[in-house]
A and B are shown apart, each in its own frame.
Chain A
Amino acid sequence: MISFFGEVGYNAGFMHSKQLPIFYNGYNTYFQNSGLSKKFDTGKAIGMMNGEFYDFGIGIGTDSKFIIGLQGFLLKSKPNQVRFTVNDGRDISVGMRMTNVEIGYRISSSDKLFFQLHANLGFGTYSVYSAYVCPDGSKSFGSEHVMNGIYSDFTGEAGGGFEFGFKLLPCTYLVFHCDYYKSLVSKKNGQYHDFQDLSLTKSNITENYLPVDYSAYLNQSLQGSENSIYNDIKGFKLSVGLQFKTK
């Protein structure tokens, strides 16, 4: 017996990176004598993220089902901030835009409740948004500051987790997910620049990656260095949503 399901909801992500604090540290160090009133927080790396998700697919079986579906989600963090003397500074936030194939097994003890274990494999874009903040609060992603940009890594990712569903109405379930995600195919080699700005204008004018050593970054020629961090973003995502499914 084949059933169909579709789901929408809201995510809260708790993602972590050991590489981003290396970049934050380098930036703080470079500007430490320039009157920083607020430094990048190097402890939390990314912090809490939020966004939406969708999920749809089919279940094969009767009470217990083999599940295969397609899932997509968005997450974006609040900005990590540096501030200088006249309240100008830099905001950096992290975004994830993912699409997964979900394969799992769903156990239903009754019509009112189900529990599901699943694995995810997919691809997506991890982006680091770096904006200069003007004294009046307006933000610039333009090419006038070297570090402005949207540094993205399109790569594979994998994860797994579980899901509970509680019946609210006929064919309508309130669902909770807990999933672990990890970026794959990270090159772990500075010369490949996992995070790059894809804007041609930006890449023709300034460096276009996230450096380990900010001072060296400012003094080296375009594109030729091994001075970049790599993508090691991983962590948990909690989700709440509504699932609509046929029997």
Chain B
Amino acid sequence: MKKLLILIPIVVAMIFFSCDKEDVKIKRLNRGKGIWQIETIEYFTYDSLGAHVVKDTTIAHAGELVVFTTKTLDGLYGYRLMVADMNDASGNFTATFPGEIYDDGTRVDIRNSSPAVSFLWTIDKNENRKQVWSTYSLKPDGSVSEKITMTLKKGD
């Protein structure tokens, strides 16, 4: 019984520490081939002090990302192919963008050579069925001007 009293807190502590996954993010998107619906795209603007953020615009149901694996050489490096089907503000389909997508648990790299598109998103939330990605742009003085946040939900 004494040994159990020692063992239980140790196991609980180990589970507690193991659950802090901020540092070791599992590559959930890598298992996430399929359809990811873009729930929202939000635009945030930083004011001159940079200390306050104003949300200018939110676009709901902006489209979807269709992610699938490839057997080409790029597949060896963890790349997958992706098609982004984008809607307008009314939810009507407007355009399709094919590309490659790669994630390392911290960032998502979306690239295409024609048309030349290259995005490096930061993963804010990395869950099996929900992802939140952000990308930033700068003012001429180098301070942050705008943040775009995209919330994705795994399709059924």
- Chain A interface residues (CB < 8 Å from chain B): 8-10, 50-52, 74, 76, 86-88, 93, 95, 97, 129, 131-132, 134-136, 138-145, 150, 168-169, 172, 174, 198-202, 204-205, 240-242
Q: Does B10 lie within 8 Å of A199, measured CB to CB? A: no
Q: Does B147 lie within 8 Å of A134, measured CB to CB? A: yes
Q: Does A201 lie within 8 Å of B53, measured CB to CB? A: no
> From DSSP, what is the main secondary structure of chain A's interface residues?
strand
B119 at the interface (CB under 8 A from A): yes
Selected contact of A135 from candidates B14, B111, B144, CB within 8 Å: B144
Taking CB atoms, residues of chain A closer than 8 Å to B49 are: 86, 135
Q: Does A200 lie within 8 Å of B111, measured CB to CB? A: yes
B104 at the interface (CB under 8 A from A): yes
In the complex, the number of residue pairs spanning A and B with C-beta atoms less than 8 Å apart equals: 114
Interface size on B, residues (CB 8 A): 38
Within 8 A of A (CB), among B47-106: 49-53, 102, 104, 106
Selected contact of B10 from candidates A51, A95, A242, CB within 8 Å: A242
Would you list the 5 A-B pairs with minimal beta carbon distance, nearest first? A76-B23, A135-B50, A86-B50, A143-B120, A141-B122
Q: Does A95 lie within 8 Å of B23, measured CB to CB? A: yes
4 more contacts with CB within 8 A, not counting A132-B144, A200-B109, A240-B10, are A51-B23, A135-B50, A138-B134, A201-B118
C-alpha spacing A131/B124, complex, angstroms:
12
Give the shortest distance, in Å, between A206 (CB) and chain B (any CB): 10
In the complex with contacts A86-B51, A201-B118, A140-B109 CB distance below 8 A:
no
Selected contact of B24 from candidates A51, A141, A168, A240, CB within 8 Å: A51
Taking CB atoms, residues of chain B closer than 8 Å to A200 are: 102, 109, 111
- Chain B interface residues (CB < 8 Å from chain A): 3-4, 6-7, 10-11, 13-14, 17-18, 23-24, 46, 49-53, 102, 104, 106-107, 109, 111, 118-122, 124, 134-138, 143-144, 147
Taking CB atoms, residues of chain B closer than 8 Å to A145 are: 138
C-alpha spacing A240/B49, complex, angstroms:
47
Q: Does B104 lie within 8 Å of A150, measured CB to CB? A: yes
C-alpha spacing A205/B138, complex, angstroms:
15
Taking CB atoms, residues of chain A closer than 8 Å to B122 are: 131, 139-142
In the complex with contacts A88-B144, A174-B10, A169-B53 CB distance below 8 A:
no
Selected contact of B17 from candidates A50, A97, A129, CB within 8 Å: A50
C-alpha spacing A144/B46, complex, angstroms:
15
Task: Tell me the nearest residue of chain B to A49, going by C-beta.
Answer: B23
C-alpha spacing A50/B17, complex, angstroms:
9
Selected contact of A10 from candidates B14, B102, B118, CB within 8 Å: B14
In the complex with contacts A52-B18, A150-B107, A168-B6, A142-B121 CB distance below 8 A:
yes
